Amino acid sequence: MNSLQSYLNTNKDRFVQELFELLRIASVSADSAYSKDVFKAADFVADSLKTAGCDSVEICQTKGFPIIYGEKIIDPKLPTILVYGHYDVQPADPIELWDSPPFEPIIKKTKLHPEGAVFARGACDDKGQMYMHVKALEFMTSTNQLPCNVKFMIEGEEEVGSDNLAEFVKHNTTKLKNDVILISDTGMIAKDTPSITTGLRGLSYVEVEVTGPNRDLHSGIYGGAVANPINVLAKMIASLHDNNNHITIPGFYDKVENLSNDERAEMAKAPFSLENYKKSLEINAVYGEKGYSTNERNSIRPTLDVNGIWGGYIGEGAKTVIASKAYAKISMRLVPNQDCEEITTLFKAHFENIAPEGVTVKVTPHHGGQGYVTPTDTIGYKAAAMAYKDTFGTAPIPQRGGGSIPIVALFEKELKSKTILMGFGLDSDAIHSPNEHYGLYNYFKGIETIPLFYKYFTALQA
Amino acid sequence: MNSLQSYLNTNKDRFVQELFELLRIASVSADSAYSKDVFKAADFVADSLKTAGCDSVEICQTKGFPIIYGEKIIDPKLPTILVYGHYDVQPADPIELWDSPPFEPIIKKTKLHPEGAVFARGACDDKGQMYMHVKALEFMTSTNQLPCNVKFMIEGEEEVGSDNLAEFVKHNTTKLKNDVILISDTGMIAKDTPSITTGLRGLSYVEVEVTGPNRDLHSGIYGGAVANPINVLAKMIASLHDNNNHITIPGFYDKVENLSNDERAEMAKAPFSLENYKKSLEINAVYGEKGYSTNERNSIRPTLDVNGIWGGYIGEGAKTVIASKAYAKISMRLVPNQDCEEITTLFKAHFENIAPEGVTVKVTPHHGGQGYVTPTDTIGYKAAAMAYKDTFGTAPIPQRGGGSIPIVALFEKELKSKTILMGFGLDSDAIHSPNEHYGLYNYFKGIETIPLFYKYFTALQA
């Protein structure tokens, strides 16, 4: 594409400074203390889309945080790409483990990123990856090379379940009409190994509360004589996996898609070093469902993890108390054909069923989402593969991802179009963790690759 | 005793107001944020002992909080009673469950206490019960009826293990020499059923830390493929009890004192309504070690309870994270012949042993203490029984207590004297819980009964 590299070179510093501005806004959607910041980030995105060349930009209010819609229609007969992304971020906790403040972006060099990486909450997920699309659009409009129509839909509730986006999509199918959906909110295998995510796991997320006695009790007077909600919760959680780490919820595996041996053999070809994996996490062994490899466990198999647990005295020192209540947040990653609502229902019924006498149990569902699989024989996939080939010099590997973007299944259902998951992040980016970062190399590679996708997709569609 | 009742009637209001002053000092020994208050409470106790008639009072500094020592020696040939109590209190958490602020004492009438009860942290444990002894001394000295010598040793670290008291006792055996030790830091069976605690459980208290990956991880990317420290901790905790709720730590029961059927039958005679017990706690069933009654489970049997657990995301909403670390505070109540240090060692070895590959485990012992049994055929016990009989009109029932006052075993070892646990609290006082309170009836009954103990003990000893 004409002058892409030189445009990038001229504007590199500005592209980073603009991203810094966005990263400074603490748009944590899960915590109402940050509401104002989430709205502020929405405004920022709307302004950037205008600046980048969208003809019309709308801040669409919802019951929660706004959805930013922008478009540039150059010719209704040409194909239309819908870009989806999100401007909200995960909470920064545990904040004490960050080496620099999560909302004060800074560039630091690392072993993997000698050219530098941006450290901040949202640097990769998804502000950095979303903003690549804004800057790619700027390049194409300012150099008159936009080959097709483009629509942007950037939301602020991805990290809390996209409840209002679903509503928005259902009510705006005409406005959102497109030929392909393009999302950068996933990763690639390695810095030199581009990949396209062809599957996502679904998600069921619940909060459980176990109540024993009606008040906190002295453990000397009542210890051993009443059900201790923390001990009971631990026992209930433990029972959710058997000794082979299979999940014990009745019916949980009934609809799980089982891959053929050929498919599993194909997957096993992806470059992977178990030694490096363990080293990078500083663990002496991996752990998971019997009969499956690490890469299978985190992609084609469903899982159940406790994401948070709390109860009783957690301050300094010792308190001899039996808590009245204990809590946990539990999520299940689901694979194709598992329905997230059905799984939530199965979990709830099972969890209530296994509660022993002496306690009561409450299960509250949080957001969920369906899994998704993208075929590799579509024009969208081919265009993406060609674009990667141009910028990385090597064809991308199709890869099942372990994460969830619950809205992708809904897009297919409501908008009847396929999604291309063109991610540039790396597993080591520490998204959802302290010290999240995004390599400058990856950021610029994204801005380079996206316009090529537009070019090839338009050409193949013709 | 001459004029006891009339002295009490004249001074009732002042006795309550003085206790209020002490309760307003937030002397939480477990939390360093309250250090200043703990020192302030120490000064208060020293001043009250002087006012009450002690000839000499010392504020004995330790590595932690001071021990207040006071004495009134009227004749070295007369018997000497050593009074022990503590001025520190448990943390007030969970503070949101208090109906009135924990350090703003207030009198409220309840169904059980139509004459009113003092609501505040420490109202019963142990400020209220300790202060009865100060006021009893005041009565005896101001009316010239003190029949023997008295020594006071009031500490500020009972709720965190009395580490420095142990040291103090060992180095001051001559100063502390006595014929009997008197403590009010336990309860009685019911408001109209006085009882003397003849046994206490020991305590082993540990904090455990389970570490998996070196950082918090995204549960989509790593879920199912690495050991989740919270799930692992839950599993490890669950495995500490078998299906009959026996504790599974090898060697744990080896030295447990087993009561004879006769002794158990004697215990079973204490008035107890399982229905009322469940009703007062709003539970549909009790829960505990198979083969034992509720009153056995919380007194003559050792137990293991989680007192606090935490890990991962515990804020509002949902975060799909796999925590790097999970924590729990675990305590074991021990019965006679179980050695607390040996049990801590057994726990540590077992807990480290059952940690699966993929995590590391750290066990940090907090304070511990030995159990204790008091015989009922001593002069001290008899004197206490006579005193109760005078004030309650009925002889007290000997009762094994489930709680722990770790220092009692040490007193016997170092000072060679028996302890009389003359408690006036009730199980419903909610000690260690929100809305701790102490009945005015109990407070005044204590002040009445204590001088009678002095009288009878001196007479029996003669």
Write the residue in B222, B232, B301 that is nearest to A224 by C-beta.
B301
CA atoms within 13 A on the CB side of A435: 14
Contact A351, A362 (CB under 8 A): no
Provide the b/e sequence for A223-232 (b: ≥16 CB within 10 Å). Answer: bbbbbbbbbb
pLDDT in tens, A132-163: 999 999 999 999 999 999 999 999 999 988 88
Alpha-carbon gap: A91 to the closest alpha carbon of chain B (Å): 8
Bridge partners (DSSP) of residue A202 are A334
Q: Which two tokens stand for residue A343?
A: 């799984």
With H, G, I as helix, E, B as strand and everything else as coil, classify residue B163: helix
Rounded Cα gap, residues A158 and A388, in angstroms: 26
Rounded Cα gap, residues B118 and B123, in angstroms: 6
Rounded Cα gap, residues A260 and A435, in angstroms: 38
Which of B23, B1, B47 is CA-nearest to residue B139?
B1
Question: Are residues B314 and A308, on separate chains, in Cβ contact within 8 Å?
Answer: yes
pLDDT number for residue A1: 64
Please report the sign of the dihedral spanned by the C-alpha atoms of residue A333, residue A338, residue A344, residue A347: negative
Alpha-carbon gap: A145 to the closest alpha carbon of chain B (Å): 36
Which of A446, A450, A444, A447 is CA-nearest to residue A107?
A444
Q: What residues have CB less than 8 Å from B154, skipping those under 6 apart?
A: B45, B49, B67, B68, B70, B83, B84, B85, B86, B87, B130
pLDDT number for residue A33: 94
Stretch A421-426: mean pLDDT: 95
Least confident residue range of B31-40, B85-94, B370-379 = B370-379
| Average of per-residue pLDDT values in chain A | 94
Q: Which two tokens stand for residue B74?
A: 């009227």
Confidence of residue A297 (pLDDT cuts 50, 70, 90): very high
Write the residue in A31, A310, A359 that is nearest to B316 by C-beta.
A31
Candidates B32, B432, B438: best to mutate against A (most CBs of A within 10 A) is B432
Q: How many residues does chain B have?
A: 462
Question: Are residues B318 and A90, on separate chains, in Cβ contact within 8 Å?
Answer: no
Question: Are residues B287 and A226, on separate chains, in Cβ contact within 8 Å?
Answer: yes
Q: Mark out the alpha helices in B243-363 (DSSP H runs).
A: 261-267, 274-281, 294-297, 340-353
CA angle A251, A254, A257 (to 5 degrees): 145
pLDDT in tens, A329-369: 999 999 988 999 999 999 999 999 999 999 999 999 997 88
> What is the architecture, at CATH level 2, of domain B202-256+302-366?
2-Layer Sandwich (3.30)
Residues of B in contact with A297 (CB under 8 A): 224-225
Question: Are residues A298 and B221, on separate chains, in Cβ contact within 8 Å?
Answer: yes
Rounded Cα gap, residues B127 and B86, in angstroms: 7
Confidence of residue A169 (pLDDT cuts 50, 70, 90): very high
Contact A437, A119 (CB under 8 A): yes
Confidence of residue A220 (pLDDT cuts 50, 70, 90): confident
Alpha-carbon gap: A448 to the closest alpha carbon of chain B (Å): 26
pLDDT in tens, A1-38: 668 889 999 999 999 999 999 999 999 999 999 999 99
Tell the burial category of B284 from Cβ atoms under 10 Å away from its Cβ (0-12, 13-18, 19+): exposed
Question: Are residues A432 and B320, on separate chains, in Cβ contact within 8 Å?
Answer: yes
Question: Are residues A404 and B205, on separate chains, in Cβ contact within 8 Å?
Answer: no
Which of B309, B292, B423, B132 is CA-nearest to residue A232?
B309
Question: Are residues A315 and B160, on separate chains, in Cβ contact within 8 Å?
Answer: no
Contact A29, A92 (CB under 8 A): no
pLDDT in tens, B369-410: 888 888 888 999 999 999 999 999 999 988 888 887 778 888
Rounded Cα gap, residues B328 and B230, in angstroms: 10
Candidates B96, B297, B320, B404: best to mutate against A (most CBs of A within 10 A) is B320
pLDDT number for residue A370: 86
Confidence of residue B185 (pLDDT cuts 50, 70, 90): very high
Rounded Cα gap, residues A8 and A158, in angstroms: 29
Check pLDDT > 90 for residue A94.
Answer: no
pLDDT in tens, A430-451: 998 999 999 999 999 999 999 9
CATH topology of domain A203-256+302-369: Alpha-Beta Plaits (3.30.70)
Which of A272, A277, A128 is CA-nearest to residue A189?
A272
Provide the b/e sequence for B293-312 (b: ≥16 CB within 10 Å). Answer: bbbbbbbbbbbbbbbbbbbb
**Ramachandran class of A234: left when φ > 0, alpha when ψ lies in -120 to 50, beta otherwise:** alpha
Domain boundaries, chain B: 4-200+371-461, 202-256+302-366
Tell the burial category of A315 from Cβ atoms under 10 Å away from its Cβ (0-12, 13-18, 19+): middle
Stretch A300-307: mean pLDDT: 96
Contact A316, B30 (CB under 8 A): yes
With H, G, I as helix, E, B as strand and everything else as coil, classify residue A220: helix
Provide the b/e sequence for A420-437 (b: ≥16 CB within 10 Å). Answer: bbbbbbbbbbbbbbbbbb
Q: Which two tokens stand for residue A180?
A: 């392909």
Rounded Cα gap, residues A104 and A26, in angstroms: 9
Check pLDDT > 80 for residue B2.
Answer: no
pLDDT number for residue A235: 98
pLDDT in tens, B415-424: 999 999 999 9
Q: Which two tokens stand for residue B316?
A: 């509002």
Question: Are residues A313 and B308, on separate chains, in Cβ contact within 8 Å?
Answer: yes
Stretch B87-101: mean pLDDT: 94
Tell me the pTM: 0.78
Write the residue in B285, B301, B305 that is nearest to A219 by C-beta.
B305
Alpha-carbon gap: B322 to the closest alpha carbon of chain A (Å): 6
Percentage of residues in chain A having pLDDT higher than 70: 100
Confidence of residue A398 (pLDDT cuts 50, 70, 90): confident
| CATH class of the A4-200+371-461 domain in this structure | alpha beta
Check pLDDT > 70 for residue A224.
Answer: yes
Percentage of residues in chain B having pLDDT higher than 90: 82
Write the residue in A294, A298, A307 that is nearest to B313 by C-beta.
A307
Question: Are residues B30 and A311, on separate chains, in Cβ contact within 8 Å?
Answer: no
pLDDT in tens, A272-293: 899 999 999 999 999 999 999 9
pLDDT in tens, A38-79: 999 999 999 999 999 999 999 999 999 999 999 999 999 999
Residues of B in contact with A161 (CB under 8 A): 318
Contact A131, A19 (CB under 8 A): yes
Cβ count within 10 A of residue B164 = 20
